[in-house]
Structure 1
Amino acid sequence: MELVVLGCWAPYPRAGGACSGYLLRAGGLNVLLDSGNGTLSRMMSFIDFRSLDAVIISHLHHDHYLDLFSLRHAVEGARRAGTLAGPLRLFIPPVPETDFETLAGYKKAFETTPIESLPAEKVAGGFTARRLDLKRLVFRFVPARHALPGYSVSVEGDGKLVYSGDTVRTEELVALASGAGLFLCEASGLNSDAEYLKDNHLTAGQAGELAREAGVRRLLLTHFWPEYDPAVLVGQAAAAFGGRVEAAVEGNMYRLDG
């Protein structure tokens, strides 16, 4: 399983950068996990958009899905040209309803499924998750706690990857991340920002604490405020985690083994 970081900034990118977006490659699949500003161009340095099998959006804030509008035109154009047979599978939260309906309305580009409609199953801790099976990969979604409804996501195949999405600490996320080989976790601010972020985001230290509690092997920080130095955020997370911490770097690939 390979994770390519396409964008790691929020809510706007640094010069030459991109907002949240990650390319997951495993089991013969190419899955785009979030598609913020600038991520489509980055992705096409690695794969052609026609090679995508699915897109998953954690929540409908612009810095996580805005490039779907560019991807829509690419897919529709490829279908007109006969280089793509059908629409691309898209899994998104059903709210805000106006945003969901806009995306679902692009039927020539996307076959849209609300994540809420996926089958429910119990996961560790007695929580309910939504489950998606794509070939040999199993995706599970638990509710995040954020300004908009959204999800934290786990992916299991050859290894286990967990993506926090945008959220504060939740018991569901701790359970979902338990034993993950790689935990891709937002670190939206410094520890000194805790009061400002308390209802929507994690500080770097809180990301480290959550990773320690969940017993993850590697912590990969992302979703950086562009004015902050990621190295400082790594230091604060490492002090709380006590294990391996890295800052996501655009264009880097992170490999998970079983």
Structure 2
Amino acid sequence: MSQLLSGKTAVITGSAQGIGLAIAERFVAEGARVVLADLNAEQVMAAAAGLGDDSVARGVACDVTSGDDVERLIASAVDAFGAVDVMVNNAGITRDATMRKMTEDQFDQVIAVHLKGTWHGTRTAAAHMRERRSGSIINLSSISGKVGLMGQTNYSAAKAGIVGLSKAAAKEVAYLGVRVNAIQPGLIRTAMTEAMPERIWEQKMTEIPMARAGEPSEIAGVATFLASDLSSYMTGTVLEVTGGRHM
């Protein structure tokens, strides 16, 4: 069976661990070369080394809230592998608190990493891809951006914003052969979600018709579909990967 991403180069932010790393692993398995980006330089270098030598995977330190950093990231991918075919904007943080207790800084940090970071990644990748008249940009939203979750006015706002950003960007670059789509994961088993208090985890589980949390590899499968030519006529879409939660 032929590999879905053979000959393609992908850049994935927030990929030192969790969903981002799972996407990188799947992309490599499907024949892609990958550039992993994360704020933690040591961790992202180690993650890249675990995927293969530098003809397959490279790690780059990158702060997605900095436009200059993101431009350097795309440039380093082009230098290493000749082009960027797929951009996955996955970097994210949480600073959960009720609106009454949330600080302005906690709000700003989450908006900066998720929404501004995704804008930087989408904008910079699209500028490169439009010259080549092909490319797939995949933005990680969240089911929190669809329904709004208590204690997440910052995160829900950012993740809803990513949907609007993706659709607007998709309209701007579709005629140039560049596609922009979003994924909305539900409850996925990662270090970030497993840090939740047990009672909150259990309460979320009751909302899932499939009665289980998702695995990072299940998001990676959907990202692979969006990165590949299997989704060649899809742009501006939002794919929910939630086990049926909040359908």
Instruction: Output the TM-score relative to the length of structure 2.
Output: 0.40
Structure with greater strand percent: 1
Structure with greater helix percent: 2
Instruction: Output the TM-score relative to the length of structure 1.
Output: 0.39
